[in-house]
Structure 1
């Protein structure tokens, strides 16, 4: 584990992120301008915390296998019930990526072990493995927040672009008042391990839903069956819903990293 300055850390951070994102759902590809935004670190955006710190984990041959970007913010001394003062502060984890379980555990060990800071904040996936590393998982308090939104602007291209976990052939009718070119019926043919095909069709629809609900299910984090329970997905061929749900399934909860606010150019 090494703490590196921004210039030395950036190549390693970019390399680790690009490798990890290929195995995660929801992690976007980052161009150079997006990395400039992600690593932007002027004092005015720090909210009283330190400059961004870069902890990089390397394997035995020196290859970077993980990183944590974080800040430290000291707590103001305040009266403690009883006697004395309550000190401490917060480790603010901005982003963490690890290519192996060993790197993941080592990075969290480093962050939790920062001296004189008794609180840590982090925005992670809903199925984050961190609780299972802790001696007392109840020490971790979590709440679900909005982080990832999907808006399909070209339904055929979007459905053809993603992989599928199981074979499926179905006709989906999409309703889209805001992008009317999306409205219509689509024949989707896909199978595990082979390219998908999605094209317009005149065949009778087997499923019908608004584009917003298709976006919700697109990354595999929301089950179509759950949406069908509200009446927002309508099935006209028995079994079509279950087949598409199985095909859309992904490993790991979709997540978009980067929990700290930062300016957008």
Structure 2
């Protein structure tokens, strides 16, 4: 192992196998050929950074080109992924080098005002300006302890099928619902193939993935992706339902699908680890404590271009405020910015006017999807109120009527 600085290169498509080997070692999993081929189809080598030490790959970072749902719309966002450093090459500044260069390239590309990622550990990415923008609920419950209300009317039909054969219908419904949900990412044909892929290595002894469809008067208005795992003990069946996605266009479809998921024959438990913090299920079950919901982090957002990012989303109420921003890694973002916005649009421009609020770039990432309160950041001392009353005046605008929700780990 050389101690000299190692060069950072842009990999070729045929470097993917070495990258996959690095990922497997970093995340303590075994390589699976089926899974590897699925992931190869989404890999974007031109958006990746690779470090080799002689032959082996020892550090890597990449990004996917997708859009991210934000309050009031959808914007291009660098979906940062496949970040790792070999155990043999830690504490040599490789991660810092890759993350700094990646941020600079996203900024200079001029198309994506924000970057977004899932963090393996929450302490890693704040030092690069990422803020926790969306949390998730992991639900693990005994289904025998829960009851749901009876439907008001029976206006739909439930069907079970294999997901791949229903991909066009799933995509149409997903896009329809995604338009109003911060945190969901766009899916083209390539991404739908990835989402619906079902390598045996990822099943953990459970069945193949199935899709539950709810068909209303106008066609499919709800779907759930799930699998089941068989288990018995001396008392009888103890099977588990593992839910991966629930997408519903209306309350009737949502309720009907959950009534089935919580009552599958020969199962007694249910697992769903990407529920939203405002998941309607919490308001439907007779005893929400029995859902066993556990709060965790989900999406981390890094504002790359302050004026472009703040102008790209919408605001719950009218706002006119000057914010002083500090950004050590992208100095173009440092300065005072006047944000004028509301439910129908926004603008953000540099200004010499005195600031009313001050924060670092990480705080803007936390605020960006509408899931973090400005007041909470101020109470933590991370947003400074330079003019009394500014937090109360501007705070409601940064929220949104739906919490940002995770959907898939990318």
TM-score by length of 2: 0.59
Q: Matched residues in 1 for 2:242 and 2:296: separation?
A: 17
Please, which of 180, 189, 192 is the counterpart of residue 35 of structure 1?
A: 192
The answer to whether the Cα contact below 8 Å between 1:12 and 1:56 also exists between their aligned partners in 2 is no
- SS in structure 2 of the partner of residue 144 of structure 1: strand
Instruction: Mark the runs of 5 or more structure 1 residues left unpaired by the alignment.
Output: 79-83
Cα deviation, 1:88-110, whole Å, max 9, x if unaligned, reads 11100000010000000011012
Runs (4+) of structure 1 moved beyond 6 Å?
none
Q: Matched residues in 2 for 1:137 and 1:243: separation?
A: 34
Shift of 1:85: 4.4
Q: Matched residues in 1 for 2:284 and 2:302: separation?
A: 35
Q: Matched residues in 1 for 2:187 and 2:323: separation?
A: 32
Aligned to 2:228: 72
Cα deviation, 1:12-39, whole Å, max 9, x if unaligned, reads 1111111111121212222222222211
Q: Matched residues in 2 for 1:64 and 1:18: separation?
A: 13
Q: Matched residues in 2 for 1:131 and 1:230: separation?
A: 28
Q: Matched residues in 2 for 1:133 and 1:228: separation?
A: 33
Shift of 1:139: 2.6
Q: Matched residues in 2 for 1:212 and 1:159: separation?
A: 14
Aligned to 1:112: 262
TM-score by length of 1: 0.89
- SS in structure 2 of the partner of residue 197 of structure 1: strand
Instruction: Mark the runs of 5 or more structure 2 residues left unpaired by the alignment.
Output: 1-157
Q: What is the CA RMSD across the aligned residues, in angstroms?
A: 1.6
Is 1:13 aligned to 2:164, yes or no? Answer: no
Shift of 1:225: 1.1
Aligned to 1:81: none
Is 1:132 aligned to 2:277, yes or no? Answer: no
- SS in structure 2 of the partner of residue 149 of structure 1: strand
Aligned to 1:46: 203
Cα deviation, 1:151-207, whole Å, max 9, x if unaligned, reads 1111111100111111111111111112222212111111232x2110112222111
Q: Matched residues in 1 for 2:236 and 2:362: separation?
A: 48
The answer to whether the Cα contact below 8 Å between 1:218 and 1:248 also exists between their aligned partners in 2 is yes
Q: Matched residues in 1 for 2:286 and 2:342: separation?
A: 42
Aligned to 2:320: 169
Shift of 1:212: 0.7
Cα deviation, 1:200-254, whole Å, max 9, x if unaligned, reads 1222211110111111111111111111112111111222222221111201221
Aligned to 1:230: 380
Shift of 1:6: 2.6
The answer to whether the Cα contact below 8 Å between 2:226 and 2:243 also exists between their aligned partners in 1 is yes
Please, which of 341, 345, 350 is the counterpart of residue 190 of structure 1?
A: 341
Aligned to 1:144: 295
The answer to whether the Cα contact below 8 Å between 1:68 and 1:107 also exists between their aligned partners in 2 is yes
